[in-house]
Structure 1
Amino acid sequence: MLLRPPRLEPGDTIALVAPAGPVRSRDTIERAIARLEQLHYRVLAAPHLFHNNGYLAGSDRQRLADLHRLFRHPRVKAILCARGGYGSARLIPRLDFDLVRSHPKIFIGYSDLTALHAALHTRTGLVTFHGPMAGPDLGRRDLPAFTLQSLLQVVTQPRAPGSILHPTQRAGIRTVRKGRATGPLLPANLTLLVSTLGTPYQPDFRNRILCLEEVGEPPYRIDRMLTQLLHAGLLQQAAGIAIGRCETSTSGSDAARATLEKVWEERLRPLRKPVIIGLPFGHTRFNATLPWGVRAELDATHGDLRILEPAVR
């Protein structure tokens, strides 16, 4: 059963936290804070937001304490991750799922945060949000209106958002196999999703709309991860598959990009289910917000993904 968090309203408090890698630029975070305050939200920084422990934002104990503090905090309505990187999965064994279940809140992030999405959703049923983070997204000088509007539409309105696309975002979407499919959303970074396999936090793939994104991985590694999912019989269970733009996963060359698209096609077309490539979500400036577990319709024939029910209450 889905556990929908309360919607975000003007004047509510959004907390910033770093459960994975350390903040790279304090200026970027400050721009994100200013942007949120201009939208009439209060912003609270977790105690260890700017800590640095090598490739981690503080020790596991500090990062976990921040998460628990924010889920317990009576005024915090949304928890926004600063960035991805690495480290989220290290926190999962000691996460207080009873605390999360009794204090459901909007939790937003992507990339490495896929590990926390999988654990929170699998153990509590909480609708979490694969969406823009403070550092790489909301703090950018050239933040597209599309990215911000998509986030606000999903977390502030207790009604079905409909299409994740704006008319200006339809270019570059390509159909691998036509058709329509309906099911709960499973949006994830491919590497982190594969890392959950065989763990108690592996999400349910059955009849899901699987939305995959990646960055910085050469085509052969994408092939290897998709092959692992195929060998595990998991891609076969999905109702339909949508691939993000993966804008920087091919080092920019047309030849490499063509090779990556060939990998997606060769691995996914034989599944005989709706598949499209190029939706705007994940590691891209145009980063739509996708709620975990909420029913959606993938229309691969016309290149669209529609969210069919509210993600918040």
Structure 2
Amino acid sequence: MSHHHHHHHAAEAHPQHLTLFTPAGVVLKAAPLKLAARRLAAQGFEVSVDEAALARHQRFGGDDDVRLDALHRIARARPDIALATRGGYGLTRLLDRIDWKLIAKSVAHGTRWVGHSDMTALQLGLLAHTGAQSWAGPLAVGDFGGETVDDITQDCFVEAMTGALEAVGFRTEAGFDGLQAKGVLWGGNLCVLNALLGTPHFPKVKGGILFLEDVNEHPYRIERSLLQLHQAGVLNAQKAVVLGSFNEFKKSPLDRGYSLKGVVEYLRSQTKTPILTGLPFGHVPTKVTMPVGAKVTLLVQARDVLMGWDH
């Protein structure tokens, strides 16, 4: 399991203001969102729910204009934390119309934009256009609106938001002892990231540390996506690639022993960039919260990986 490192600050003088918003997929039921808001309030946040968080249009949380307005409204309001209710699909439609400077201005004033899955598009677009940082982490409904809340996910999120979290740690496979790398941490959902290739919204990060995860994708589809990144020159340009969870796919009778392990082994034969596995991140209950666009230092001792950052 993952462990994390932090130091304690004096109690915050005033509670952090956290806004829940829906940038992509529709929130089907209000109850889990209300439960998430209550649980986050119990963690000491002053929670508000954006006025369009429960809007509906087809499979989206409101039509494109409604969701775009929500992004800009929150960026102008500059809460301490802007946490997406869920991912799904929808931010890709907005990328050409987002006022990136406005979002970056909110970040400069202290807003932390948080999420994963489809939020990868916003996080990477922001990095590509402005260099501003955001946070790969939980989603309100999936992580705080269910029957239980994962302790590590919650602790990591709260500590990252208060500035107490300085590193995340996890176990990887043998063979990387002594590895050290410094670079910009970036990445997210593999399919969403690949859909940005060749667009102005894809960050041109050289010498970075790229993290990737995906869900409902068969190993051969994951391999094809990773090879697309490799053939585009992206993998060779990084100091390290860190793989999170790739889960919930169905095996095929055609696999004949081909597996995710085989995918990783094959990719390692194709690129000189170290490919580490085991990052607790993705569409799984236990996930860390990490700064996208921040300079991180990655250290491996035996099988223990520590990824740390400055404030």
Q: Where on the TM-score scale, by shorter chain, does this alignment land: which range? A: 0.7 to 0.9
Q: 1:291 to 1:29 in 2, by over 3 A?
A: same
Q: 1:111 to 1:212 in 2, by over 3 A?
A: same
**Could you say which residue in structure 1 is the equivalent of 2:8?**
none
- Is the aligned partner of 1:92 residue 2:95? yes
- Is the aligned partner of 1:303 residue 2:304? yes
Deviation at 1:246, TM superposition (A): 2.1
Contact 1:269/1:275 (<8 A) preserved: no
Output one character per residue of 1:3-22: Cα deviation in whole Å (capped at 9) or x when no partner.
xxxxx955221111111000
- Is the aligned partner of 1:133 residue 2:139? yes
**Could you say which residue in structure 2 is the equivalent of 1:26?**
30
Task: Report the 3-state secondary structure (helix = DSSP H, G, I; strand = E; otherwise coil) of the residue aligned with 2:149.
Answer: coil
Matches within 5 A, 1:164-175: 164-165=168-169, 170=171, 173-175=172-174
Output one character per residue of 1:91-125: Cα deviation in whole Å (capped at 9) or x when no partner.
11111122223222110011111110011122122
How many pairs were matched up? 294
In structure 1, distance between residues paired with 2:101 and 2:69: 15
**Could you say which residue in structure 1 is the equivalent of 2:123?**
117
**Could you say which residue in structure 1 is the equivalent of 2:232?**
232
**Could you say which residue in structure 1 is the equivalent of 2:166?**
161
- Is the aligned partner of 1:38 residue 2:39? no
Deviation at 1:160, TM superposition (A): 6.4
Contact 2:22/2:84 (<8 A) preserved: yes
Contact 1:129/1:292 (<8 A) preserved: yes
Taking structure 2 as the reference length, what is the TM-score of the superposition? 0.87
Query: Match for 1:82: what amino acid?
Result: T
Query: Match for 2:244: what amino acid?
Result: G
Task: Report the 3-state secondary structure (helix = DSSP H, G, I; strand = E; otherwise coil) of the residue aligned with 2:87.
Answer: coil
In structure 1, distance between residues paired with 2:235 and 2:140: 31
**Could you say which residue in structure 1 is the equivalent of 2:54?**
50
Higher helix share: 1
User: Identity over the aligned pairs, expressed in percent?
Assistant: 31
Q: 1:86 to 1:73 in 2, by over 3 A?
A: same
Taking structure 1 as the reference length, what is the TM-score of the superposition? 0.87
Runs of 5+ unmatched residues, structure 1 = 1-7
**Could you say which residue in structure 2 is the equivalent of 1:83?**
86
In structure 1, distance between residues paired with 2:174 and 2:21: 37
Output one character per residue of 1:275-307: Cα deviation in whole Å (capped at 9) or x when no partner.
211210121111101111212233355331312
**Could you say which residue in structure 1 is the equivalent of 2:281?**
281
In structure 1, distance between residues paired with 2:36 and 2:257: 31
**Could you say which residue in structure 2 is the equivalent of 1:3?**
none
In structure 1, distance between residues paired with 2:49 and 2:256: 40
- Is the aligned partner of 1:270 residue 2:270? yes
Query: Match for 2:34: what amino acid?
Result: E
- Is the aligned partner of 1:209 residue 2:209? yes
In structure 2, distance between residues paired with 1:276 and 1:256: 25
Q: 1:257 to 1:86 in 2, by over 3 A?
A: farther
Task: Report the 3-state secondary structure (helix = DSSP H, G, I; strand = E; otherwise coil) of the residue aligned with 2:278.
Answer: strand
Deviation at 1:250, TM superposition (A): 5.0
In structure 1, distance between residues paired with 2:52 and 2:257: 39
In structure 1, distance between residues paired with 2:257 and 2:282: 17
In structure 2, distance between residues paired with 1:117 and 1:60: 18
Contact 1:191/1:214 (<8 A) preserved: yes
Output one character per residue of 1:96-155: Cα deviation in whole Å (capped at 9) or x when no partner.
122223222110011111110011122122210110010111222221110011112222
Task: Report the 3-state secondary structure (helix = DSSP H, G, I; strand = E; otherwise coil) of the residue aligned with 1:273.
Answer: coil
Output one character per residue of 1:185-210: Cα deviation in whole Å (capped at 9) or x when no partner.
01311001100100001112311111
Query: Match for 1:134: what amino acid?
Result: A
Query: Match for 2:228: what amino acid?
Result: Q
In structure 1, distance between residues paired with 2:231 and 2:175: 21
**Could you say which residue in structure 1 is the equivalent of 2:70?**
66
Contact 1:176/1:276 (<8 A) preserved: no
Deviation at 1:269, TM superposition (A): 4.2
In structure 1, distance between residues paired with 2:149 and 2:244: 18
In structure 2, distance between residues paired with 1:27 and 1:197: 37
Deviation at 1:256, TM superposition (A): 9.3
Q: 1:258 to 1:286 in 2, by over 3 A?
A: farther
Deviation at 1:247, TM superposition (A): 3.3
